[in-house]
Amino acid sequence: MEYLVVIVAFLLGYWAVAAFLENKAPKDSVEGNWFRILGVEPDASADQIAAAYKAKISQYHPDKVAGMGAEIRAVAEAKSKEINTAYDYALRLRSAMRS
């Protein structure tokens, strides 16, 4: 009986954590946070977005940290991908607003 309680508790705990993480994902998406990732206001101009992108990507570019180890390079690559995705989204958003 005790084993059954442990198994049920484990499964319920796993389900609760999975549900929490699933509900959290959309809030952390690039679509909702592109301006925070780039460090601009949501109503920033295309020039401001481009300048912020250049500053952020030069700060986190993986080539700048190539000699610092694999872990730091992996973090820089992930951050660079996030910055690129946010910039691409911002450009699509701005072009859609012009149409």
What's the CATH code of the domain at 45?
Answer: 1.10.287.110
**pTM exceeding 0.75:** no
Task: Tell me if 36 is assigned to some domain.
Answer: yes
- Tell me the pLDDT of the chain (99 aa) as tens digits: 787 766 766 666 665 556 555 544 444 577 889 999 999 999 898 899 999 999 999 988 888 887 888 888 889 999 999 999 999 999 998 887 765
Structural domain span for residue 78: 29-98
Q: Rounded to whole angstroms, how far apart are CA atoms 99 and 69? A: 45
Do residues 99 and 61 touch, judged by C-beta distance below 8 A? no
Task: Tell me if 42 is assigned to some domain.
Answer: yes
Where residue 69 falls (left for φ over 0; alpha for ψ -120 to 50; beta otherwise) is: left
